[in-house]
Chains A and B, each alone.
Chain A
Amino acid sequence: MSTILKTNRRDFIKLAATAGGGLMLGFQLTSSVASAMEEVSDVPVVTGTIDFNNYLSISPDGIVTLISPNPELGQNIKTSFPMIVAEELDADWSKVRVIQAFLDAKKYERQLTGGSGAIPHSWERLRKAGATARYMIVEAAAKRWGVPSSMLKTDTGMVLHPDGRKLSYGELATEASSIAIPTEVKLKDKKDFKIIGTAVRNVDNMDMITGKPLYGIDFYREGMVFAMIQRPSAFGMKLKSVDSTAAKAMPGIIDVVTFKNNVAVVGKSTWQVSKARKLLKIEYEAEGTIESSTDHDRLFKELMESKEAVVRRKDGDVETAFKGAAKVITREYQCPFLSHSPMEPMNFFAHVRTDGVELVGPTQTPEAARTEVAKLLGVPNDKVTVEITRLGGGFGRRLKTDYVMEAAELSSIIKQPVKVIWTREDDMTGGSYRPAVRYRFEAALDASGNLVGYKLRGVGINVGNSTREDNFPSGAVDNLQIDSVEYKSPITTGAWRAPITNFLAFAEQAFLDEVSIAAGKDQVKFRLELLERAKKTPAGAIKYDIDRMKGVIELAANKAGWGTKKDVSQGFSVYFSHRTYVAQVAEIEMKNGRPILKKIYAAADCGVVVNKSGALQQVKGGVVDGVGHALFGNVTFKDGAAEQKNFNSYRLIRIKEVPDVEVHFVDNGIDPTGLGEPALPPTGGAVANAIFKATGKRLYNQPFTKQEEMKGVNLGERM
């Protein structure tokens, strides 16, 4: 069935035709979905007062141009958004061009990249935009041929007459601009999709692989200066005094400027400022607690017993359930801080002029960058422009605006256009980090191995709520309590790809593995039974889709041949996070007496897969990221300073350490959800559970390679 959607005529506006003719439609990517679709306005189509936020143009030579509003950091949005429009338009994909939009908060309500949310946010609006333009093109063809539009079909940028005549979209574009915008449009039946669900290559491929200047760090403006900033040597320290005499005397140095706790060296080239910065003589003094990882280990243990936890969810009577239990299992899990370490280090260009502020660079959240810079400099928001460059990775680091504000503040002081560059050491030691967290899980089993009680406490450092209280197995256990304790530290933290769940999922899935064994049940069956239980007699609110979760569990188990393989140790995990369901089976083989992580099967339910190529990449990349950080990721602190400063001591996964990854998608036609994050959380659990099966050793803390249990075990290379 195709869907008919009423469109508010205010949703679309025809913009003045371009000089060479053609069709240009403005549409709202942002109006609240429900009302925009139901209400049919009687306002004349062209009022001239509505600010449209996205543009679709078809030029007389058939080129379809679209604006992509969201920052692109490798999640492939710049390719997948236009695919959705092109699908409904029936466009010729080879003629589609995509332009990255500048920040325009009036026009885009969600111009940020985070939370795997862009596709679900815009899916229907993008489809409507494509369908509206297609309608107008078809009407234009009907008019030209003098036939009813119902006779006509479209395919790959052509309108087809039943007698074999054809007109290209380009030929019709100018005429289409005089067709009234429809009040309702028909969306395609999903089974008729020709572009969505196929593998479409990244629209920026050629630019990336020929070295074009795409990234913030590549930005250059005639007359700009370069700067590096020396930030405090440790968290909890503030600036006491600066002697910049030697630095200032270095060649190419223009100035050394101090603001807040920053000492900025400004000069004519990156290398010159980096050399001069080393000659700064700076004294710091303590202004907060100066913490080491040993302090955190102690704090975690103390706060685990805190009487002041915030209760996040409580179902049934936990006390009684544990008192009457036949078996109680208690386990604790801990993870370290992690660096985001996107390959492109932090950088931003700022030019604070008397008439306005120009910002250019890589940010996941351009609107916040603008608002905070405006506030900092005391200028109105609309005097600040933000040009969004491609991002050399983000992983959450560029949701923060510290590096943008620094650049703006420095430019306002030196009154020059400046590009501030962070070195890798600046990035790794300057924060922010994935928060360190410790969890305690407790399970109560009755005599028949039923899970009758469940407790989870999370203790986190600058983490907020370290739990996700409504995640599975909540809803499947009658007596359940989930609470959290937070410790405030001077060490700055922030969202890190799949916030909270990036470690919580490992801990939970490793714990459930132990519980299922204690209950005498197969790990997969144990989970399926709990889900069945949640379906029949839900305990409290259920905030995940039971059938979709079962779907990925069964798909992963089936594809991996769960429990049927000899000479292979399998570990299972499943997790629902960031709107998408992913189950994984990790496989370990023993080679010369050591366990080799050979393969991971992943089954994902993200609804409709928009771009097969991009989706596969997101899942494989998420799994690789999950393996790498579970095995190696580790930032420790000594006297307030990060001990890992670059990739020689902060280990990221490399090509030889990557297992094969086989990905399967559930094909259920449900509207799409995001994939930038959800494949990562289940990975650590699947790997740890496989390691247990292979070696009999349980892992409770990350990174796995640093654990006592793994001494002498090389988990790294797969060959």
Chain B
Amino acid sequence: MAHYTLQINGKSLEADVDSDTPLLWVLRDNLGLVGTKFGCGIAQCGACTVHVNGAAVRSCTLAVSAVGSNKITTIEGLSANGDHPLQKAWNEVDVAQCGYCQAGQIMNAAALLTKNPKPSAEEIDNAMNGNICRCGTYHRIHEAIALASTKK
């Protein structure tokens, strides 16, 4: 067990956990930030996507000991009032079915738009291919990202 001070959503948060604990489980079990989802545990589905210094990272395979002072953003911290252009687009396009994967989809898409504010259709699909949606809402995921990329 070790003590960690993590920079999450603009705050310093403390956790006493084993050093090999994936960030995912620190967020979910210790810090009550359950918007980041467990899907596969092996970085294959993208449900657990968070930002580390703005880049999309699968938190299920990122040990807490490797986080250090890097800035973590989770879905809860993506925007103050759920009004990130992607969140607005997700609502407008009515993307979600069961909704479980959508936080990870949005976090992954947000990192894409930071790097590439006007992605082409192909760039959207390439960037999102690591995120599984079992309900098959892919058309609307694509549409919502395209929509958000037209607004800022």
Contact = CB atoms under 8 A, between A and B. Distances in A.
Interface of A: 73-76, 199, 201-202, 204-206, 208-215, 217-218, 220, 226, 251-252, 269-272, 275, 341-345, 390-395, 421, 423-425, 613-614, 617, 620-625, 628, 646-648, 652-656, 658, 660-661, 719
Contacts of A209: 75, 82, 87, 90-91, 95-96, 99, 102-103, 106
B66 interface: no
A658 B138 contact: yes
Contacts of A214: 99
A323 to B, nearest CB: 46
13 contacts: A74-B99, A202-B94, A202-B99, A210-B82, A210-B87, A215-B37, A271-B22, A343-B101, A343-B133, A392-B101, A424-B40, A617-B97, A655-B129
B137 interface: yes
B98 A344 contact: yes
Contacts of B92: 201
Nearest to B34: A218
Contact of A211 (B17, B35, B130, B133): B35
Contacts of B61: none
B21 interface: yes
B78 to A, nearest CB: 8
Nearest to A272: B18
Listed from nearest, the 3 A-B pairs whose CB atoms lie closest are A211-B35, A624-B136, A392-B100
A393 B98 CA distance: 5
Interface stretch (B24-32, B51-59, B111-119): B24-32
Contacts of A210: 35, 75-76, 78, 82, 87
A213 B35 CA distance: 7
B41 A423 contact: yes
B126 A620 contact: no
Given A621-B97, A652-B132, A646 B40 contact: yes
Nearest to A658: B138
B29 A269 contact: yes
B11 interface: no
Interface string B33-71: 111111111101101000000000000000000000000
Given A209-B99, A211-B103, A217-B34, 10 more contacts: A208-B99, A209-B106, A270-B28, A390-B99, A395-B134, A424-B41, A620-B139, A624-B139, A625-B136, A654-B132
Contacts of B35: 210-213
B135 interface: yes
Nearest to A208: B99
B100 A628 contact: no
Contacts of A344: 37, 39, 98, 100
B60 to A, nearest CB: 10
Contacts of A201: 91-92, 94
B149 interface: no
B91 A251 contact: no
A660 B143 CA distance: 12
Contacts of B21: 269, 271
B37 A392 contact: yes
Contact of A424 (B33, B39, B94, B126): B39
A110 to B, nearest CB: 20
B36 to A, nearest CB: 7
Given A270-B28, A624-B138, A625-B136, A73 B98 contact: yes
Nearest to B107: A211
A345 B134 CA distance: 12
A647 B136 contact: no
B39 A343 contact: yes
Nearest to B124: A655
B141 interface: yes
A345 B91 CA distance: 25
Contacts of B125: 655-656, 719
B111 to A, nearest CB: 16
Given A74-B97, A392-B99, A719-B122, A211 B33 contact: yes
A226 B29 contact: yes
B97 to A, nearest CB: 3
Given A270-B25, A343-B45, A617 B99 contact: no
Nearest to A654: B129
B40 A74 contact: no
A621 B100 contact: no
Contacts of B34: 211, 213, 217-218, 220
Interface in B1-25: 1, 17-18, 20-22, 25
A214 B30 CA distance: 18
B142 to A, nearest CB: 7
Nearest to B1: A251
A620 B136 contact: yes
Contact of B32 (A75, A220, A658): A220
Nearest to A647: B44
Given A211-B75, A271-B22, A652 B94 contact: no
B136 A205 contact: no
Contact of B37 (A75, A343, A425, A658): A343
A204 B99 contact: yes
Contacts of A653: 136, 138
A205 B33 contact: no
B132 A613 contact: no
Contact of A215 (B29, B75, B100, B133): B100
Contacts of B29: 226, 269-271
B129 to A, nearest CB: 5
Contacts of A620: 136-137, 139-140
B83 to A, nearest CB: 10
A337 B143 CA distance: 33
A272 B22 CA distance: 11
Q: Which of A205, A613, A660 has the most CB of B within 10 A?
A: A205
Contacts of B25: 269-271
Nearest to B33: A211
A622 B134 CA distance: 10
Contacts of B38: 217, 270, 345, 421
A617 B98 contact: no
A342 B40 CA distance: 11
Given A646-B44, A719-B122, A205 B94 contact: yes
Contacts of A654: 129-132, 138
B44 to A, nearest CB: 4
B128 to A, nearest CB: 5
Contact of B42 (A275, A341, A646): A646
A591 to B, nearest CB: 14
Given A209-B90, A211-B35, A226-B29, A271 B17 contact: yes
